[in-house]
Structure 1
């Protein structure tokens, strides 16, 4: 009798929890999507066809398509993901109420790719072109942070010249209560660059008291385990030998995904 009652209880629990978790929507194949808070609601942003970004509301209705003005001969790059640092923002680069997107464009030459970095708003207007010098290329590395000493927001970008010399540029960003709140909120998440990664994944140290980064494949198998110093601001992990695909990297209780090319 007790066994029958226990089995009935297990079946009831399974039914109850199964009813709570249901598939609500499936995006198109290959449509990487980022979720971004928009007031009391949320929006979804993804790369559309060609040089476009799709914006969906919380009911999964397409409300706007952003046409990004990428130069001729360049390939549009936009990798929306909650793991990507400040891919979709609202107040960090401008003080208006429009969504902002960090995008890039890649031009393949006979020797190496040349990449440009832009911030474009939801009307398809370029707010900032960070790579106007034709003799330099963006490396895929950028970081946004708040300087408490000067109470200013900053962005640091790593570029490379035609002689493969790396150099970094620091920009001052608009500093408001809204932009600071957005930066602090994002700062609680793990972030890494470049995404997708080819040879090296650079992870920003979350300073959460743990000094080991572990990478898992999508089967849950541990493929990388690397220790780092508590004072290291950035952890560089060699991922060159990993097969192409999606991976999970974890530091303490914080985790995020990245793509290996």
Structure 2
């Protein structure tokens, strides 16, 4: 009798496991959608409305919680919303946002990034002209903000990193924070100019590989030339205009890797 009960339990477990699947739960109309675990407010979703320059925050049931206007200097447009927090960039109870804006100067012939941090009341906490990508990490003396710097006024554009000490506290529960072990798997350089290196898993079979490229509206673009170099794919971006793009690496019908690219020239 015990054997029969055990067999039935195993069959039920197998059926339940085989029925498990990934289901579409919700679809945002905005880019850069993500989730964050805020110390006071708990879990929230947020997304970037690049057309109207807003940060839109949702409850976990996808109902609207709050919309915050992001001030935009003349000629710039919003390209990324990288962090939403309560206590990383200062210690008051207001929400804070780290975002990136971009401007292409046709007279000078190159683009310019600027990283900004503001709170929900519109007070600017930091402005880093040239900053295109940011990461928050814990350190021995408190939390640090690392901002990747780009100067496209040079023919071989310079790349550097600025490190800022933060008054707020770092929390590993904040889902904005990038795991340092996975950071090496991000595309590089990003922003890119003439090419970008896209990571692929170790031991990956490079046969039957295609790359799908999309603009910020989700329109699929013509395939750009690419080649393999170890665990990296070198994708040409020389024909792409400055802006925000998304890529997807496919093998046959399976998506192996995907991510976001910024192109600056």
Name the TM tier (shorter chain).
0.5 to 0.7
Separation in structure 2 between the aligned mates of residue 115 and residue 257 of structure 1, nearest angstrom: 23
Q: Which residue is equivalent to 1:25?
A: 26
Are 1:120 and 2:118 counterparts? yes
Structure 2 residue aligned with 1:259: 260
**Pairing 1:101–2:97 present:** yes
2: CA distance, partners of 1:211 / 1:96: 47
Structure-1 separation of matches of 2:126 and 2:197? 24
- In the TM superposition, residue 36 of structure 1 has moved relative to its aligned partner by 0.9
Deviation at 1:200, TM superposition (A): 4.4
Q: How many angstroms does 1:169 deviate by?
A: 5.0
Partner secondary structure for residue 162 of structure 2:
strand
CA RMSD of aligned residues (A): 4.5
Change (3 A) 1:119 1:224: farther
Partners of 1:203 and 1:91 in 2: how far apart?
Answer: 33
Match status 1:238 vs 2:239: no
Residues 94, 199 of structure 1: CA spacing in aligned structure 2 closer, same or farther, 3 A cutoff? farther
1:158 alignment counterpart: 149
Shift of 1:189: 6.2
Distance 1:16 1:216, change over 3 A: same
Contact 1:246 1:258 in 2 (8 A): yes
Cα displacement (A) at 1:21: 5.8
Counterpart of 1:63 (choices 62, 65, 70) is 65
Could you tell me which residue of structure 1 aligns to residue 170 of structure 2? 179
Contact 1:118/1:129 (8 A) holds in 2: yes
Cα distance, 1:151–1:203 mapped onto 2, change above 3 Å: farther
Aligned pair 1:47/2:39, yes or no? no
Distance 1:38 1:102 in 2: 15
Look up the SS of the partner of 2:236 in the other structure. Answer: coil
The unaligned stretches of length 5 or more in structure 1 are: 1-8, 81-85, 132-136, 205-209, 229-235, 250-254
Unaligned runs of 5+ in 2: 1-10, 213-225, 251-255
Superimposed CA distance per residue, residues 75-96 of structure 1 (whole angstroms, 9 cap, x where no aligned partner)? 1222x5xxxxx53344332223
CA offset at residue 57 of structure 1? 0.9
User: Do the aligned partners of 2:36 and 2:176 also contact (CA within 8 Å) in 1?
Assistant: no
- The 3 A distance-change label for structure 1 pair 53 and 15 is same
Distance in 2 (CA, whole Å) between partners of 1:141 and 1:15 is 40
User: What is the aligned partner in structure 1 of residue 138 from structure 2?
Assistant: 146
Relative to structure 1, is the Cα distance of residues 123 and 38 closer, same or farther in structure 2, using a 3 angstrom cutoff?
Answer: same
Distance 2:176 2:47 in 1: 23
